[in-house]
Chains A and B, each alone.
Chain A
Amino acid sequence: MSATAAPATTSAKVVLADYKDVWVFLQRQDRHLSNDSLELLASGRKVADQVGQRLVGLILGSSLKGLAEEAIDYGADYVLVVDDPALRNYHTLRIIDTLEAMIIKRKPYAIIFLATEFGREIAARLAYRVNSGLATDNVDFEVQDYFNPKFNEMFPKTMTQVRPDFGSRVAKIWTPRHRPQVATLKPGSFSPLARDPSRRANAKVEKVPLPRPGKTYAFIVKELVELPTPNVDLDHASVVIGLGMGICRGADGTPRNPIEAYKLATELKDLIERKWGLKTEIGASRELVMAQVKALEGIITRDHELGQTGTLISPDLYIALGVSGSAPHRAGIRAKKILAVNPDPDAPILLAAQYAVVGDLYDFVPKLIDTLEALPDSA
């Protein structure tokens, strides 16, 4: 190989029309496809329908029984399965090699990954290797005829990739001259399609052997250790109260002991559980977890981390106290309703909230507790 062997931009030899089918790289959770993967199938279905091609699910790993059928039930027309022990334990380089071989042979129109730790690194390196571009963290896709005024050129049936940009905006991204278009999808952006086992009648599963099985790597997975289940169950809470760095200061900038905010949150949690019978948990932004605030030692731990790198949550209500709402934080929150309290009127979390309170949480939360206490019992 050499850097000049296959230039990324001299794409004259790439005949765009040769590239067909929308691929999605599915990941598992225990013995099923992860919920994020079902969302990924829904996003891929949209693209496939708009471009008029098949949606192909990719399942790479070991002991994959039943997963291909799940992929079909949730939207795939075709599933490529590479089931080999060599693909266990997230062997990055082997998975990239496998995908590269599949892409060269089959020429997909697009390949979409989840914007998880693993999906991101695979997508990035693979995109470079197959001489294509990359658009990360998309929240939506749309197939359109794209006209570029600079080139004065029309690119028919191009996948428009929509991604957040510098906080509170979105940007549209195109990869008009390269195939496959490589993208990552931000979890929480699509809802899974309804499960439909009747789809199996018209769908197909193809088993693909591992390419270059004898190849050795300078990358050896020594072990994969499952982390213990956390003592906070953010996954199944109906209400989540999130604490951010803002709890360390009042709205006027005076330092506050963050334990006071934690106590207020606990009071609110107990009230909601007692009065409404809704399971409520307290979480924290990554910034607060990383800050390792002395007063919160042992109280706010990594198990409490919300957002893209922590626990992805989908409660009925998310109450954000002193959380600014960075893009990675918001990406991990898919609440039906958000109540955000922040003294900064420009805080991105306020933009995303159904209920926006511009003010001091130390002022607001006691009042909210009083108000909720005063309500007649719902039961």
Chain B
Amino acid sequence: MLIIALVKGVPSRSTKVVRVDNIVQRNEMEMIVNPNDEKAIEAADYLKRRVGGKIVTLSMGPDVRLKPVLMPLYNAEATGVDEEMILSDPRLAGSDTVATSYAVGLAVFKIYEKHIAPFDALIKLITGGSSMQEIEAKARELYDQNVLPNKVYNEDPGDRTSMIGHLVEGNLSRDEAVARLKTERANVTRFVIVAGIRTSDGETGSVGPQVAEVVSQKMGIELPHATYVEELDVDPDSLRIHAGRRIGRSIQRLEMESPVLMTFAPEYVAKTIQSVDFDRVIENYYKGKIKEPIKWTADILEADPARLGFGGSAVIVGPAIMMGAPSGQKTLGKSVVFTRKAEKTAWEGKEYGPFEKGDVADALPQTLKDDLTAKGALTTFTLAMLGAELLA
């Protein structure tokens, strides 16, 4: 099973948010893996242990900043991720959720294509009458690129149990080999995309469902999605997905046909695997890991450039405005409040008041506060006052 995990590098909580022209400058901030995405990796690992296959992560952002953040994922959970793709291109800067989803969705499609193309190449050689040596050489090359599962080809010279092995040995006719490759190709088409419920920086939770839509449009299918997934299982034979998620005060249980996209809630915990068909899992594994993240630029996406980055964004974000404290906020031991009713006062050309006993005076000019304090009209806000007001 091809498992694609969307992983985002987000500013760590302790870092300062840097902006130029209202666009967050991610290359100037300390990064961590979005905490919610760890659950997606846990789910990906579960699926891989249950049915075999490989996990490919996909991230978008400056590759030099993302690489160190992504490297530990090769050893995450039980099996770790197998490959990491980073979509890194200044043309993608300033993307809103729609433009982000567009780029990420197209990259998902590229990952899928990369794992489908080897089957098409082999089928073409076999039906085109190429020699067994040529077919085997091609299979080995693709296997070494980590894009064919053990089932189709593997490099153990004594092991002729793979499809191409059987074909070369003469145990399988060309027609039978093509039929089996087609079945296997169809299995790769039933891939799964996993992601966290939302990112800790944007907090929109929108990219998951939108990527499902982008991939749907690209593939000409309707790829189902489920957000906030807390329960997950997969039928290793049919590759159908069973998922449970919380909606309000209900649990909704779903059965979905892959390809499918799911986002995982922090409550998700991978089930314990009771029994597993190890032979099948190993047959579905690929050669191994490529422990160096691969950088992709926007060129690979074959995208409509008008839909990428800031220019491709439908929404425009204005400058951030600090939210003020609620009016009348009182800080214990710090705020000053009126000890009695006070009439409207003119002070340095402005009018203030009237005030009730207990009203906060923090926002008044310092000179006025000094004057009022001297008259005994102001005092520091104490615990006794807080106690008296709290439940009044």
Contacts and interface: CB of A to CB of B under 8 A. Distances in A.
B278 to A, nearest CB: 29
B17 interface: yes
Given A135-B315, A218-B222, A89 B252 contact: yes
A3 interface: yes
B74 interface: no
A354 interface: yes
B16 to A, nearest CB: 10
Contacts of B245: 117
B266 A355 contact: no
Given A134-B97, A173-B317, A355-B390, A166 B201 contact: yes
A169 B321 contact: yes
B34 interface: no
Nearest to A345: B331
B47 interface: no
Contacts of A272: 391
Contacts of B218: 2-3
A8 B312 contact: yes
Given A127-B98, A355-B330, A227 B313 contact: no
Kindly state the interface size class of chain B when it binds its partner.
35 or more
Contact of B391 (A29, A128, A372): A372
Nearest to A308: B203
Interface in A15-67: 29
B321 A171 contact: yes
Contact of B332 (A170, A359, A375): A359
Contacts of A359: 332
A232 interface: no
B248 A116 contact: yes
A218 B224 contact: yes
Interface stretch (A174-182, A202-210, A256-264): A174-182
A191 interface: no
A173 B224 contact: no
Contacts of B236: none
Contacts of A118: 247-248
A327 interface: yes
Chain A's interface: helix, strand, loop or mixed, by majority?
mixed
Given A178-B314, A356-B331, A128 B222 contact: no
A3 B217 contact: yes
B318 interface: yes
A378 B252 CA distance: 47
B147 interface: no
A220 B318 contact: no
Nearest to B210: A128
A152 interface: no
B325 interface: yes
A218 B314 contact: no
Contact of B247 (A7, A93, A117, A172): A117
Contact of A368 (B98, B329, B383): B383
B320 interface: yes
Interface stretch (B122-130, B156-164, B168-176, B253-261): B253-261
Contacts of B256: 218-220
B388 interface: yes
B223 to A, nearest CB: 8
B312 A9 contact: yes
A5 B217 contact: yes
Contacts of A239: 391
Of the candidates A3, A135, A178, the one having the most CB atoms from chain B within 10 angstroms of its own CB is A3
B306 to A, nearest CB: 5
Nearest to A5: B217
B102 interface: yes
B332 A1 contact: no
A106 interface: no
Contacts of B208: 121, 124
Given A353-B329, A354-B330, A358-B332, A173 B222 contact: no
Given A120-B227, A132-B314, A135-B315, 19 more contacts: A3-B214, A3-B304, A116-B248, A117-B247, A120-B204, A120-B206, A121-B227, A124-B210, A125-B210, A125-B212, A134-B315, A136-B97, A137-B203, A173-B315, A174-B315, A174-B318, A221-B252, A354-B326, A358-B334
Interface of B: 17, 96-99, 101-102, 106, 201, 203-210, 212-214, 216-218, 220, 222-228, 242, 245-257, 260, 265-267, 304, 306-307, 311-326, 328-332, 334, 383-384, 386-392
Q: Which 6 A-B pairs have the closest CB atoms?
A: A133-B314, A371-B387, A219-B224, A124-B206, A218-B257, A172-B318
